[in-house]
Amino acid sequence: MPNFSLNELLGSRYFNQAIGFDPFLKTIDSVLLNATAASYPPHDIVNQKDGSHAIILALAGFNKEDLDVAVKGQTLTVSSDVHNQTDEDDVLQYNHRGIARRNFKKVFALGRNIEVENVVFKNGLLTVHLKESVPESEKLRSLDILGD
């Protein structure tokens, strides 16, 4: 995927008409500029029927102790810093080693009201459950009409 900025994609005419969208546009710009063709580890992003979301990463050969999941602001980072040399490697000799177990770092941009609900690692799949948490100030509320 080529690296380009949102300004190059849309042109400056859109930016001189948008007020208050800077954080959103900077997030999109950051995602576009940092996008790479790296696909390891493979992942799915699922929109569930109840309105929640999940990110599922296929991590065969990893233990939960090898993984780190962190959220800072609106950025979710899943990473692993493993060393391919294990105690088993001293005993085993591989004819073919097709199960990748290498360092990685995946970064996901989260929406403004998206929060991590929980993280589950089961059967080689890491699932990050996300939910939308709308603040009270943004929920619909009925207003009283004053008059005579």
The residue whose two tokens read 């294990």 is 86
- Classify domain 39-138 by CATH architecture: Sandwich (2.60)
Residues above pLDDT 70, as percent of the chain = 69
**What does DSSP say about strands 104-109 and 75-80: parallel, antiparallel, or unpaired?**
antiparallel
- The DSSP line for 48-84 is -TTS-EEEEEE-TT--GGGEEEEEETTEEEEEE---S
Strand, helix or coil for residue 29: helix
The pLDDT value recorded for residue 29 is 67
The CA-based dihedral angle spanning residues 54, 59, 64, 66, taken in that order and rounded to the nearest 10 degrees: -120
pLDDT above 60: residue 49: yes
Domain residue ranges in the chain = 1-37, 39-138
